[in-house]
């Protein structure tokens, strides 16, 4: 689980670097983690469906 959270934090940091905006710690960071995790699960599911067709 720590690896997943670290990966999500890394993605948030990359997006923050590109946009120049860093979210305040607390709710927004947790919300961004949730959204990125959902998007990641969707991308992995789409990849799995595509590969195993």
Q: What pLDDT, on a 0 to 100 scale, did the predictor assign at position 8?
A: 77
Host domain of residue 6: 2-51
User: Considering its fold, how many domains does the chain have in total?
Assistant: 1
Q: What pLDDT, on a 0 to 100 scale, did the predictor assign at position 27?
A: 63
Q: What pLDDT, on a 0 to 100 scale, did the predictor assign at position 24?
A: 67
Q: What pLDDT, on a 0 to 100 scale, did the predictor assign at position 20?
A: 78
Q: Report DSSP state, residue 50.
A: H
Alpha helices in 2-53 (DSSP H): 2-19, 27-51
Give tens-digit pLDDT for 10-52: 877 787 788 877 766 666 677 777 888 888 889 889 999 999 9
């Amino acid at each position: 689980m720590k690896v997943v959270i670290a990966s999500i934090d890394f993605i948030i940091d990359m997006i923050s670097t590109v946009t120049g905006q860093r979210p305040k710690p607390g709710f927004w960071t947790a919300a961004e983690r949730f959204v990125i995790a959902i998007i990641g699960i969707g991308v992995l599911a789409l990849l799995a469906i595509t590969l195993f067709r």
